[in-house]
Chains A and B, each alone.
Chain A
């Protein structure tokens, strides 16, 4: 596939690994912000290959993981109501709420429809005027334009049976929160390429000036990730702290202005509760007053999502520590034993962007041996002892 295959070349990957090793004079601590990057780093064996050279700690960029339990519970409650259908990305299905997951609720007769796009949920509402369709709008800046477009489409079609349960979050305020934390260890960021595709990179200038850390925007293929790591190391080794765009084939300095216009038209920046983080000032989006008729919380008279419901069965999940980079997934006592993708205690184990799921799926060193046979994906070839074998770098690409 064009613009994918070019950035998976194993020879280039090995050369980049060698360059990173020869450039680094100490073990620097880097955080990749986006869960998609986390999966790329684990899936291609980059994290294990470079473990002696850089410490990669995994950031909060998993929207499913930071969606408040109260929002998940509310979605479940809606799915059980008569004449209400909850439409959601598949990622949300198995995320535990305070008592159940949406999957459990569907099993109990709840009305749940998995969609690829928020626009598909609008079509669903159009086809079923007798049903209230609620789209569970989770995601970062990358996803907000699509849900904004869905609202505009519903408005144009004059649909009275479509609404959003909004749980959109913004990345940069969370990065600021991490840097302000007294136990912060991050020395450079691999910024999220598709978030920056929408937002641009200008806002990182002030961030870099304030926190004096390199911010390197990267894509998701192995060459992109390795190239981003190399740029971080080069900056750190020479004392530079700059914003660097290494995903320029998709990211421009100003970002996507059309997408920003869509988001600004429909949403306003708001304080938002993040699961595991608490409320982050300016940490998300809410519907503007002009579009409140599409707000599922208003339509269905829900109590505020800011309220905290009792948490049952989830308190043992240390997602907050994992998402802040304080706890390596494999260091969690429940990893792979009490908590697996089939029976998760928390969102990072089930989301396609969750760090725990990435380690469980791709890091054979961190996976309990007795569970290795249960993986559906047998094509992963990253050696558990690959740290001294450069030939395995980036050759662990699965066909999944």
Chain B
């Protein structure tokens, strides 16, 4: 139930501070999400969406920092942004 899926903000639809909405894309599927909790997010950002509302803006710098830490430890020489070994979740996971 605490599942959160990262999605890309395609465009804001409504900038209302409480009831704002944006179109967000998840692995090719677009849906309208509520944005009250991430008013600072901009188009092109990734947000973690849970139960129809974005609960965080993904901090790209922190994501890169973790990957860099793993590399420093010699733990992720082959770490890449895309691997064939790990198929993305199916679209069913979005519900």
Binds B, one of A97-105, A112-120, A124-132: A112-120
Interface residues as binary, B18-46 with A (CB distance below 8 Å gives 1, 0 otherwise): 11000000110000001011110000001
Point out the residues of chain A lying under 8 angstroms from B77, CB to CB: 11
B87 touches A397 (CB 8 A): yes
Point out the residues of chain A lying under 8 angstroms from B48, CB to CB: 194, 197, 250
Once A9-B83, A34-B2, A248-B62 are accepted as A-B contacts, the answer to whether A142 and B55 lie under 8 Å apart by CB is: yes
| Cβ-closest 3 pairs across A and B | A117-B52, A8-B86, A248-B62
In the complex, how many angstroms separate the beta carbon of A328 from the nearest chain B beta carbon? 22
Binds B, one of A12-20, A207-215, A282-290, A337-345: A12-20
Chain A interface bracket (under 10, 10 to 19, 20 to 34, 35 or more):
35 or more
Selected from A120, A248, A394, A400, the residue in CB contact (under 8 A) with B93 is A400
A143 touches B66 (CB 8 A): no
In the complex, how many angstroms separate the beta carbon of B5 from the nearest chain A beta carbon? 8
B18 touches A64 (CB 8 A): no
Of the listed residues A1, A5, A35, A227, the one surrounded by the most CB atoms of chain B closer than 10 A to its CB is A1
* A161 interfacial by beta-carbon distance below 8 Å: no
Residues of B within 8 A of A (CB): 1-4, 6, 8, 18-19, 26-27, 34, 36-39, 46, 48, 50-53, 55-56, 58-60, 62-63, 65-67, 70, 73-83, 85-90, 92-93, 95
B37 touches A258 (CB 8 A): yes
- Bound-state Cα–Cα, A34 to B50, Å: 15
* A259 interfacial by beta-carbon distance below 8 Å: yes
* A153 interfacial by beta-carbon distance below 8 Å: yes
A118 touches B52 (CB 8 A): yes
Once A2-B46, A116-B52, A119-B34 are accepted as A-B contacts, the answer to whether A258 and B39 lie under 8 Å apart by CB is: yes
Chain A minimum-CB-distance residue to B33: A117
A/B interface sample: 20 pairs, CB < 8 A: A5-B82, A6-B63, A9-B85, A11-B79, A34-B2, A117-B53, A119-B34, A119-B53, A139-B1, A149-B53, A152-B18, A194-B2, A194-B55, A197-B56, A220-B4, A249-B58, A250-B48, A258-B36, A259-B55, A262-B36
- Bound-state Cα–Cα, A255 to B74, Å: 31
Point out the residues of chain A lying under 8 angstroms from B6, CB to CB: 1-4
Selected from B46, B74, B76, B86, the residue in CB contact (under 8 A) with A3 is B46
Selected from A4, A146, A262, the residue in CB contact (under 8 A) with B51 is A146
- Bound-state Cα–Cα, A29 to B93, Å: 30
In the complex, how many angstroms separate the beta carbon of B33 from the nearest chain A beta carbon? 9
Point out the residues of chain B lying under 8 angstroms from A241, CB to CB: none
Point out the residues of chain B lying under 8 angstroms from A220, CB to CB: 3-4
- Bound-state Cα–Cα, A11 to B73, Å: 13
- Bound-state Cα–Cα, A250 to B95, Å: 20
Selected from B73, B80, B81, B90, the residue in CB contact (under 8 A) with A400 is B90
B59 touches A250 (CB 8 A): yes
* A10 interfacial by beta-carbon distance below 8 Å: yes
Point out the residues of chain A lying under 8 angstroms from B81, CB to CB: 2, 5-6
Point out the residues of chain A lying under 8 angstroms from B67, CB to CB: 6
In the complex, how many angstroms separate the beta carbon of B82 from the nearest chain A beta carbon? 5
